[in-house]
Amino acid sequence: MYTKYFKIYGFIIAILLTSCGGGGDDSPSEPEVFPPAEAVLSLPANDEVCLTGVSINSTQATVTFTWQTAPNADSYSVVLKNLATQQVNTFLATTETTDITLTKGEPYSWYVVSKSSTTTETAESDEWKFYLAGDGIVNYAPFMAEAISPEIGETVSASNNKVTLSWRGTDVDNDIKDYEVFVATTSPPATSIGTTTDAFLEHTVSSGTVYYWQVVTTDHENNSSNSQIFEFKVN
């Protein structure tokens, strides 16, 4: 009789342990980690003259950079390039604004990298360009042209032994006069293939060859800027 009851009680206890999760893994689950999103830039405005800097002296001014809060980000890096000197500096920020002292009358580009202390993943914003207003300057040189096609380092196929080079040119004064394009198989390219008012130009190429090209943008005040040297290869 006692043996019978002992078996019944043992069976009931086993059921209770199973229903309560006995023997299961009670360790807490890992919290979900969300990577930071891209920041949306606000100021200085893109492709414009920045007039809001606080003048320090005749050559320098402090500019306030602002952007919208990026979801899941708790810090930011502002990557700033002086387009005249090609010098790049990075500034850290924990809010959506930071003040940077710059040289007046020069062109700059900038973008923001969103970061999070919970992950190594980051996100980059769009890149914007601006001129910092200079004392007594009434007309600014064009921004350096940016390659659209071929992209830098791209391998392309020619059509009837020709490749169309295209680029983006901008000027805060909206007075671009023309573009002169230089192409060669050595860098820097020294051979001019023509001047155009369009933002594209065809060039005859040879298969299996690497080409270097550069665009010189000139405005109606004869201010000019040289793009960086672009490179592509033909299949």
Number of structural domains (the chain) is 2
53 shares its domain with 128: yes
- Predicted confidence band of residue 31 (pLDDT cuts 50, 70, 90): confident
**Inside any domain, residue 19:** no
Residue 148 to residue 84: CA distance in whole angstroms: 21
Which of 78, 105, 132 is the endpoint of a domain?
132
Pick the closest to residue 74 from 124, 42, 37 (CA basis). 37
Tokens of 164: 């169309």
Mean pLDDT lowest among 75-84, 134-143, 196-205, 224-233: 134-143
126 shares its domain with 152: no
Pick the closest to residue 174 from 49, 23, 62 (CA basis). 49
**Inside any domain, residue 9:** no
Which of 82, 106, 132 is the endpoint of a domain?
132
76 shares its domain with 125: yes
- Predicted confidence band of residue 52 (pLDDT cuts 50, 70, 90): confident
pTM over 0.75: yes
- Say whether pLDDT at 47 is over 60: yes
Question: Per-residue pLDDT averaged across 52-77, rounded?
Answer: 96
pLDDT, tens digit, 9 for 90 and up, residues 7-22: 545 545 555 445 545 4
Residue 230 to residue 201: CA distance in whole angstroms: 14
- Predicted confidence band of residue 6 (pLDDT cuts 50, 70, 90): very low
Q: Which domain holds residue 218?
A: 146-234
**Inside any domain, residue 29:** no
53 shares its domain with 120: yes
120 shares its domain with 181: no
pLDDT, tens digit, 9 for 90 and up, residues 132-149: 999 888 899 999 999 999
pLDDT, tens digit, 9 for 90 and up, residues 164-195: 999 999 999 999 999 999 999 999 999 999 99
**Inside any domain, residue 21:** no
Helices and strands (H, E) in the chain, number of each type: 1, 19
Residue 29 confidence (pLDDT)? 75
**Inside any domain, residue 82:** yes
128 shares its domain with 45: yes
127 shares its domain with 152: no
Q: Which stretch of DSSP H or E encloses residue 143?
A: none
> What is the CATH number for 88?
2.60.40.10
**Inside any domain, residue 202:** yes
Question: Per-residue pLDDT averaged across 38-61, rounded?
Answer: 95
